[in-house]
């Protein structure tokens, strides 16, 4: 399962800068593809919806590098499938633990972009002299191989650490979480804060926060 997660992360991560397929790297698309390859439909799509709502305001523009959605979404799906989690309270553990990967993945992408800028001078010299017609393809292939290699290493080490942390959390709190009344509704509302924040309206944010608190309290009380 971790091996499949590494494959999906590298493939979908390259869509940010190499293939540029746009919506393919969005959490909903990742959750749909994960379901097609053996994941549980309801659980996979629920995880995807959570991250899609949480990062609804993360839109790439100019030089801004948005959070690496493929990193956190793929890691959470891999952990949920590996441990066979179905209860929302238990699934919340890998959901929270995988969130930092979106920030770390964006930092890795920024570092790779800085490193690959070294090829700029080589391109300038090639444009002036054109001595080697095969130079641009070689630079592109080298950039793709470098991105794929470092992405694979990053996700491999991250998923191993997250698997250990998730296992420890489930061993300690798993029985209590399995009997919790927490449902997907308060989790979706909490994730929906990302969309409300994009409105930049304090009244809307305050109203949403008050409603989310009420729904979470009602959920724990078993009202719905």
Residue 194 and residue 172 share a domain = no
Calculate the CA dihedral of residues 93, 76, 103, 156 and round it to 10 degrees.
Answer: 120
Residue 223 and residue 160 share a domain = no
CA-closest candidate to residue 16, choices 135, 134, 112, 154: 112
What pLDDT is stored for residue 22 in this prediction? 58
CA distance 187 to 185: 5
Count the neighbouring beta carbons within 10 Å of the beta carbon of residue 48.
24
Structure tokens that stand for 198 in this block: 């994009």
Residue 127 and residue 18 share a domain = yes
Question: Domain tally for the chain?
Answer: 2
Residue 120 and residue 140 share a domain = yes
How much is the CA Rg of the chain, to the nearest whole Å?
Answer: 20
CA-closest candidate to residue 70, choices 18, 145, 146: 18
- Residue ranges of the alpha helices (H) in 14-134? 27-36, 41-54, 69-83, 88-98, 100-116, 119-129
Residue 132 and residue 146 share a domain = yes
Residue 193 and residue 162 share a domain = no
Count the neighbouring beta carbons within 10 Å of the beta carbon of residue 201.
12
Residue 197 and residue 175 share a domain = no
- Residue ranges of the alpha helices (H) in 179-201? 184-191, 193-197
**Three-class secondary structure of residue 121 per DSSP:** helix
Using a 10 angstrom Cβ sphere, with 0-12 exposed, 13-18 middle and 19 or more buried, the burial of residue 50 is buried
DSSP state of 23: G
- Domain housing 161: 2-180
Residue 86 and residue 23 share a domain = yes
Per-residue pLDDT of the chain (224 residues; tens, 9 = 90+): 555 555 555 555 555 555 555 567 788 888 888 888 876 788 999 999 999 888 876 665 556 677 888 889 999 999 999 898 888 889 989 998 998 998 888 888 888 887 877 777 777 777 777 666 677 777 778 877 888 888 888 888 999 999 999 999 999 888 888 888 888 888 887 787 766 766 666 777 677 777 767 766 666 666 55
Residue 135 and residue 51 share a domain = yes
**Three-class secondary structure of residue 129 per DSSP:** helix
What pLDDT is stored for residue 102 in this prediction? 87
What pLDDT is stored for residue 37 in this prediction? 81
What pLDDT is stored for residue 112 in this prediction? 82
Count the neighbouring beta carbons within 10 Å of the beta carbon of residue 77.
29
**What are the angstrom distances between the C-alpha of 122 and each of 17, 125, 135?**
20, 5, 9
């Amino acid at each position: 399962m971790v091996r499949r997660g590494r494959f999906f992360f590298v493939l979908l991560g390259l869509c940010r800068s190499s293939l540029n397929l746009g919506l393919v790297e969005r959490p909903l698309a990742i959750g749909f593809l994960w379901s097609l390859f053996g994941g549980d439909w309801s659980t996979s799509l629920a995880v995807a919806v959570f991250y899609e709502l949480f990062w609804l305001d993360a839109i790439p523009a100019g030089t801004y590098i948005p959070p690496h959605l493929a990193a956190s979404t793929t890691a959470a799906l891999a952990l949920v499938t590996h441990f066979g989690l179905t209860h929302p309270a238990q699934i919340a553990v890998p959901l929270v633990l995988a969130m930092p990967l979106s920030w770390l993945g964006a930092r890795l992408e920024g570092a790779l972009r800085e490193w690959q800028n070294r090829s700029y001078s080589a391109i300038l010299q090639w444009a002036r002299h054109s001595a080697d017609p095969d130079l641009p393809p070689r630079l592109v292939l080298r950039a793709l191989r470098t991105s794929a290699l470092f992405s694979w290493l990053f996700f491999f080490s991250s998923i191993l650490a997250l698997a250990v942390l998730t296992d420890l959390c489930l061993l300690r709190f798993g029985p209590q979480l399995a009997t919790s009344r927490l449902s997907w509704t308060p989790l979706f509302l909490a994730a929906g804060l990302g969309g409300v924040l994009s409105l930049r309206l304090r009244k809307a944010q305050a109203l949403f926060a008050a409603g989310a608190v009420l729904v979470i309290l009602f959920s724990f009380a078993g009202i719905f």
